[in-house]
A and B are shown apart, each in its own frame.
Chain A
Amino acid sequence: MNRYALFLLALPLAAGQTTVIRNATVLTVTKGTFQGSILIRDGKIVEAGEKVMAPEGARVIDAGGQYVMPGIIDCHSHIAADSINEGAVAVSSMVGIEDVINPDDIDIYRALAGGVTTANILHGSANPIGGKCQVMKMRWGKDAEGLKFEGAMPGIKFALGENVKRSGSPGNGFGASPGLRYPASRMGVEDVIREALTEARAYQKEWRDYQAKLDRHEQAIAPRRDLKLEPLVEVLEGKRYVHAHCYRADEILMLLKVSDDFGFKIRTLQHVLEGYKVAREIAEHGVGASTFSDWWAYKAEAYDAIPYNAAIMVRKGVLVSLNSDSAELMRHLNTEAAKAMKYGGLNETEALSLVTINPAKQLGIEGRVGSIEPGKDADLAIFDKHPLSNYAKVEKVFIDGELYFDRQKDLEERPAKVARKKALVDQFKAQEKKERKKPESSEDKKGEDPGGVR
C-alpha cells in the first residue's frame, strides 16, 4: 500500500468535519490568550473563546493542560525542493521552486513535528537575482500542487553580498568556473540588479506597445515571451514580492535606493543581520525584515550581528519575523522566538508574532493564517507546554482542519515500520544468497554489457 493510501486511511478526520479543541490555553497572538476552546469546520476556525458550544457529532479533542498556537510560519526555508541554486548566471529569474517541489522530502514532516504549517521556500543566494519562491503548506502526503499555498502572492529571491560575489570569483569551488561570472563585487551586484530591471522595463514597454496596437485594431504578433524578464516585470508592477538576502547595512541601503529608483517595494530583507543599524530606514520604507535569533559569525559579513537585532527592529517599527534557513532550525522556531524575550525584552505575544502573524504579513497571507481568529484557516499547533518554553513538545498539528501530525500516532506506528524494513532487508539478503549459488548468473557480467549505455 502506498503512502498516500495509508495516509487517507489514517485520517478519517476529513476537512468537512467539525472539530472542537477544548480545555486548552489558546494563544491567539492577535486576540489575547485565554483558557477555552476552538471550533473548526470545513477547514476554517469558526469560533474561539472561553465558552464554545460543541455541536453534536463533532470530534472533540481534549487539550487539557496543553497550549494551542497558530501554526508556525517560516519565511525562509529551502526544504521540499529538488534544486535550490541556479548559480552560473547572474540573473536566474526564469527558474522557480514551483517547478521542482519535492513532496517526498522528509523535512516537511519534521517541520510539521516542530509546529510549522507554512513556509516560504526560496531559491538560493548564488546570484543577485535568483529564482522564484514558493509559499507552501506542510501538507505531508499531498502531491506538489497540494503543497502550494493557493492564492499566496508569488515571490522572487534577490541576494546581495558575499555569496553572490564569491559565486563569480576565482578560486571558489562552490561557484562558477574561475572568473567566469560577473559580478565579483558589491558594486557589480547593484549594477546587475539595475541592468536587469532596466531590461525588464524595456520588455514591459514591448508588451504595452503590442497591446496598444491590438487596441487600435492593428496587425501585430505578440513579442517573444522572455521567461527571465516576465517575473521582473511583475516585480516592477508590484505583483511579485522581492525577498532579498542581505547582511550589511550599506548594501541594505543600496537596495532600498534601487527599489526607490525603480518604483517598487522590497517586501522583505532576509537575514538582515545588520538591520539594527538601519532599522529606522527600513521602517520608513515599509520593508519587512526576516532574521535569525542568534546565528552569526559564519562568514565575514555576519560578524557584526547581535541577538538584539529582532527586538531593536521591532521597537523601531519594522515588521520582523524569525526564520530558519535550515531544516534543523525549522523544527524549533518556537524557542527561537523565545530568545527575543531574553535579548531585547519582547513580551510573549510579540515573541510569538515573530513566527506567526508577522511572517504571514510579510508573505501577504495574513488574511488566511498567522493567528487564531474566526474565518482563518484552521492551521494550529498543540504543544504540551507553553511553546516559548525549552521543554515544550508538539503534540498535534492541524492544517486546514486536518490532523497532519500526531505525536502519539507517530510513536505507535514506528514498530510496524521497523518490522517492514527488517522484512525487506531479510528478503533481499535471501535473494542475494540464492543468486550467489548460481555461478552462471547473468548478474556477474553486467559490467561488461556493451548495451548498457542508459
Chain B
Amino acid sequence: MYYHASLSMKQLTTMLLAAASLTYAQAPGPIALRGARVVTVSGPVLEHGTVLLRNGLIEAVGENVDLPKDAWVIDAQGVTVYPGLIDALSTVGLPEAPAPSTAARAETPATPRGGQELPVPVEQGPQFRPFTTTWVRAADLLNPADKRIEETRGAGFSSVVAFPFTGIFAGEGAFLNLSGEKQGRMVVTSPVGQYVTMSSHGFGTYPGSLMGVIAYIRQVSFDADHYKLELAAYASHPAGQKRPNYDRAVEGLLESPRLLLPAEDAKQVDRMLRFAAELKRPAVLYGGHEAYKVPDLIAKSGVPILVSLKWPEKSKDADPDQEESLRTLELRDRAPSTPAALEKAGARFAFYSGGTAPKDMRKALKRAVDAGLSEAAAVRALTLSAAEIYGVADRVGSIEPGKIANLLVVKGNLFDEKAKVQYIFVDGVKYEPLPEAPPGDREGRAAPGGVE
C-alpha cells in the first residue's frame, strides 16, 4: 500500500483506532448463540435454539445446528433472542434540526414578524413549492456520531427508519442499521418513503391552513403524474418537441416508494385513507392514538399504520384547575388499547418512538400489552411487520438463514420490566448496552459541544 507514506500521523492513528475498535467488536469468525429461547418471528419459537452468525448474516438457526470448529460459542442459557427491534419512524442518525413542524402547530396563526425579518412575498405560480424538500435524503445526511444511536441500540433497537422531518414534503427516509461506524454501512435501503406532514406556517403563508396543505399535496401529486407523461412523450420523440422543465420537487416524490401520512385521531385516519386512495400512491399512516375507534377501517384498507409509543399525557404545564373534556380523558385512557384493537382486526401495524426516550420504550410497549396486545403481536410489530411495511422483509425483521444478523439478546423476557438487554447484534457486530447513567449525570451527556 504505497500511499501510506502520504498519510499524516493523525490520519494514520485514526485509521488504526478504527481498525482496533472493529476488531474488538467483531469476532474473527462465526458466532453461535447456543441454548437460547429463540423468537424467530417468521417461524415457531425455539425453546432451546441456536443461532449461527457469519459475515454479518444469519447462517443457521434451529434446535440442532452443527457448529463450525472455529465458531465463537456464546452459552445463551436463560436468554431470549429476538430479531433486532425496529423503530419505524425516527430521526436517529440525522443531524438535529431546529424545532420541527408538527401537525399540532398546523392551525396556529402566524405570530407577528419581528422587525429584523424581511417579509417573504407569497407566490402563487404553479411551480411554487413551499415547505417542500422532497429530494432531501436521510441517507445523505447521516451522522454516525449521533449520541442517540447508542442510546437507541441500548434499548434493543438494531434499526430505525429515519426521515427528514421539516416541511410539508420533508424528504426521503432510509432504513438504517444502527452500527454507527460508517455512513455507507448504516443504510440498509434508501429511499423507503416520503415523510409528509400537515404542517402549515400560519395565515400569512400559502398554504396556511389544513385544507390548503391538503390541496397543495394533491396538486404536487397531480403534477408528478403529469410530469411523467410529459417526460415519456418527450423521450419518445424529442425532435420538434418542447422540452419539459426539470422539477426536483416532483422528482423526489416520484422516487419515493410510499407516502407517510399523519393520522392521529379517527377522523384523520379516515381522511388520510381516502386521500391516499385518491392520489393512487402507496401510503403508510403514522400517529394512530385514536385508531382504536376504527381498527376495521384500517384493516380493510390494507394500508399499514405506525403507532406512536408516546402515549398521550396531561401536559406538564396544564392548569390544574382546568377541567379536561371527556374526549381528552377517554383518549388518554384508551390510546394504549390501539395496538390490541389493530391486532384483533387484522390490520398491519408497527411502532415508533414518537419522542419516547429509548429507555422508556419498553415501558410504553408494556402499556399496550397490558391493554390487550399479545406479546407475539408486539414483537412482530417491532420487527417483521416494520420490515414488511418498508419492503425489506427479505433481509431483516426475523431470525432466518440468509437475513442480516440483527439480533436482540435479552436476559429473560422482553416484556418483563426487570429483564436486561444483554447484547444487540447489528450486521453481526455485537454491542452491549451502556451501563445506566447514575442520576444527575444525564445533563452532562446531553450537551455535546458544550464550551465548558
Contact B219 A227 (CB under 8 A): yes
> Which residue of the partner chain, among B107, B122, B126, contacts A226 with CB atoms under 8 Å?
B126
Contact B119 A144 (CB under 8 A): no
B392 beta carbon closer than 8 Å to chain A: no
A254 beta carbon closer than 8 Å to chain B: no
Contact A175 B152 (CB under 8 A): no
A445 beta carbon closer than 8 Å to chain B: yes
Contact A446 B326 (CB under 8 A): no
Contact A221 B229 (CB under 8 A): yes
Interface positions, chain A 1-58, Cβ under 8 Å from B, are 2-4
Contact B212 A83 (CB under 8 A): yes
Q: Mark B124-164, 1 if CB is under 8 A from A, else 0.
A: 10100000000000000000000110011000000000000
Among the stretches B23-31, B198-206, B395-403, the one at the interface with A is: B198-206
> Which residue of the partner chain, among A91, A100, A144, A425, contacts B329 with CB atoms under 8 Å?
A425
Among the stretches B11-19, B51-59, B60-68, B356-364, the one at the interface with A is: B356-364
A86 beta carbon closer than 8 Å to chain B: yes
User: Given A96-B211, A104-B267, A177-B119, A224–B226 Cβ distance below 8 Å?
Assistant: yes
B375 beta carbon closer than 8 Å to chain A: no
Contact B211 A97 (CB under 8 A): yes
Q: Closest residue to B293 on the A side, CB-wise?
A: A2
> Which residue of the partner chain, among A126, A221, A451, contacts B357 with CB atoms under 8 Å?
A451
B255 beta carbon closer than 8 Å to chain A: no
Instruction: List 6 A-B residue pairs with CB atoms under 8 Å apart, sorted by A's residue number.
Output: A2-B293, A82-B107, A86-B212, A99-B210, A425-B329, A449-B357
Closest Cβ of chain B: how far from A408's Cβ, in Å? 21
A88 beta carbon closer than 8 Å to chain B: yes
Interface positions, chain A 218-254, Cβ under 8 Å from B, are 221-222, 224-227
B74 beta carbon closer than 8 Å to chain A: no
Alpha-carbon gap, A203 to B244, bound state (A): 19
Among the stretches B37-45, B343-351, B425-433, B439-447, the one at the interface with A is: B439-447
Contact A143 B102 (CB under 8 A): no
A424 beta carbon closer than 8 Å to chain B: yes
Contact A222 B229 (CB under 8 A): yes
Alpha-carbon gap, A96 to B214, bound state (A): 9
Given contact pairs A2-B293, A143-B267, a sample of 9 additional A-B residue pairs in the complex whose CB atoms are under 8 Å apart: A87-B203, A95-B207, A99-B215, A144-B271, A176-B204, A227-B222, A421-B326, A452-B355, A454-B354
Q: Closest residue to A226 on the B side, CB-wise?
A: B126
Please name all residues of chain B whose beta carbon is closer than 8 Å to the beta carbon of A283 when the two chains form the complex.
Answer: none
Contact A445 B357 (CB under 8 A): yes
Which of B203, B216, B229 counts the most A-chain CB atoms under 10 A from its CB? B203
The number of chain B residues with a CB under 8 A from chain A is: 76
Interface positions, chain A 346-392, Cβ under 8 Å from B, are none
- The 10 lowest CB-CB distance pairs between A and B, nearest first, are A83-B209, A452-B355, A424-B329, A86-B212, A83-B210, A95-B211, A94-B215, A177-B204, A99-B214, A2-B293
User: Given A87-B203, A174-B203, A450-B148, A428–B355 Cβ distance below 8 Å?
Assistant: no
Contact A176 B203 (CB under 8 A): yes
Contact A448 B443 (CB under 8 A): yes
Please name all residues of chain B whose beta carbon is closer than 8 Å to the beta carbon of A102 when the two chains form the complex.
Answer: 267
Chain A contact residues, majority secondary structure: loop
Q: Mark A410-454, 1 if CB is under 8 A from B, else 0.
A: 000000010011001101100000000000101001111111111
Contact A442 B363 (CB under 8 A): yes
Alpha-carbon gap, A127 to B356, bound state (A): 42
Q: Mark B215-234, 1 if CB is under 8 A from A, else 0.
A: 11011001100100110010
Q: Closest residue to B353 on the A side, CB-wise?
A: A451
Contact B122 A181 (CB under 8 A): yes
Closest Cβ of chain B: how far from A168's Cβ, in Å? 10
Contact A177 B107 (CB under 8 A): no
Q: Closest residue to A219 on the B side, CB-wise?
A: B233
Closest Cβ of chain A: how far from B270's Cβ, in Å? 5
Closest Cβ of chain B: how far from A74's Cβ, in Å? 20
Q: Mark B160-188, 1 if CB is under 8 A from A, else 0.
A: 00000100000000000000000000000
Q: Closest residue to A452 on the B side, CB-wise?
A: B355
Contact B206 A86 (CB under 8 A): yes
Closest Cβ of chain B: how far from A203's Cβ, in Å? 11
Contact A454 B100 (CB under 8 A): yes
Closest Cβ of chain B: how far from A273's Cβ, in Å? 25
Closest Cβ of chain B: how far from A317's Cβ, in Å? 36
Contact B122 A449 (CB under 8 A): no
> Which residue of the partner chain, among A87, A96, A103, A451, contacts B267 with CB atoms under 8 Å?
A103
